[in-house]
Amino acid sequence: MKKLKAFTKRMRDKDEAAVAVVADIIGSVLPYGGNVIAFALKKGLAIARSRSVAILSEELPAKKPTPEQAEQLAPMVAIHARMAMEGEADESLRLLARVIAGQLEQGELLPAEFTSYARILSGMRQVEIVALGEFYRCWQDAEREATQLASLEERGNAVELSANKAMAERLIPRVVADHGELKALFSSLMRTGLLITTPTASGGDRYRPASLFHRLNQLASLEVVEGNPSDPA
C-alpha cells in the first residue's frame, strides 16, 4: 500500500510541476495572469482527482490489496486519475474502475489489459457507452429467445437479426434521430474493436459483439451500464 501511495504522490507532484510550467508560460505572455491560471488549474486537478477517487472507491472491493497487487494497481490508478483530469465521461471512468474490480475478483491484475481498455474508452462519448450497454442487453434478450432453435447457424442468424432490430427500436429516436445517425454511431464504435459487422443481402450492416466486447463484459458487466439516453453529450 505504501508503494501505491508513493506512486500517486509522485504523479501529483508531476502534475503540480506541469501546472507551474504552464503558469509561467502564460504569465510571460499575459502579465499578472500566471497566478490566476495556476490556481484554476490546481483547482481543476483537485476536482478531477476527487472524481477519480470517488468512482474507484465505489467500484473497487473494500478488501485491502496485497503488496504485489498494490504495485500493479499503482499505474492503473494513475491512468484512471489522468483520464479524470482530461475530462473523460463518468461512464468511461466507471467502466474502467469495474475492469480493475473484475480483475481483482478473478484473482489476477493485468495492467496491460487495463491499459488497452483505457485506450478504447478514452474519448468515448456518453451516448456511445450507453449504446454499448443497450446493445449488450438486446443481444442477451435475443440469445434467450433463440435457445429453442435447433441449428447453431439458425440460432446465430436469429440472435443477430433480433438484437439489431431491438437495438434500433431502443435507440431511435431516444438516442439518435434516425437510422443514418445510428449507423454513424456504430461506425464510431467499430473503431474500438468491440463490435464486428456482418453485411446483409440488402447491402446494409448488422452488428455483433467481438471477443473483446465479451471480455469487457466479463470484467465490467456492460448490462449495468446506464445513462440518460436523451442526453447524448
Grouping H, G, I as helix, E, B as strand and the rest as coil, residue 104 is helix
Query: What is the residue type of 135?
Result: F
Count of structural domains within the chain: 2
In a domain, 58, yes or no: yes
Is residue 73 pLDDT above 70, yes or no? yes
Same structural domain for residues 6 and 115? yes
Is residue 9 pLDDT above 80, yes or no? no
Alpha helices in the chain (DSSP H): 2-29, 34-59, 67-85, 90-106, 111-121, 126-145, 152-171, 179-190, 211-220
Which of 94, 121, 148 is the endpoint of a domain? 121
Same structural domain for residues 98 and 145? no
Same structural domain for residues 111 and 159? no
In a domain, 162, yes or no: yes
Same structural domain for residues 170 and 216? yes
Same structural domain for residues 62 and 88? yes
Same structural domain for residues 105 and 151? no
In a domain, 230, yes or no: no
In a domain, 14, yes or no: yes
Which of 87, 121, 155 is the endpoint of a domain? 121
Same structural domain for residues 76 and 153? no
pLDDT digits (tens, 9 = 90+) for 203-220: 788 999 999 999 999 999
Is residue 36 pLDDT above 70, yes or no? no
Domain with 147, as residue range(s), is 126-224
| pTM reported for the whole predicted model | 0.77
Q: What is the DSSP string of 38-95?
A: HHHHHHHHHHHHHHHHHHHHHHS-SSPPPHHHHHHHHHHHHHHHHHHHTT--HHHHHH
| Burial zone of 107 (CB within 10 Å; 0-12 exposed, 13-18 middle, 19+ buried) | exposed
pLDDT digits (tens, 9 = 90+) for 162-202: 999 999 999 999 889 999 999 999 999 999 999 999 888 78
Same structural domain for residues 163 and 184? yes
In a domain, 231, yes or no: no
In a domain, 189, yes or no: yes
Is residue 117 pLDDT above 90, yes or no? yes
Same structural domain for residues 60 and 86? yes
Beta strand pairing call for 195-199 and 205-209: antiparallel
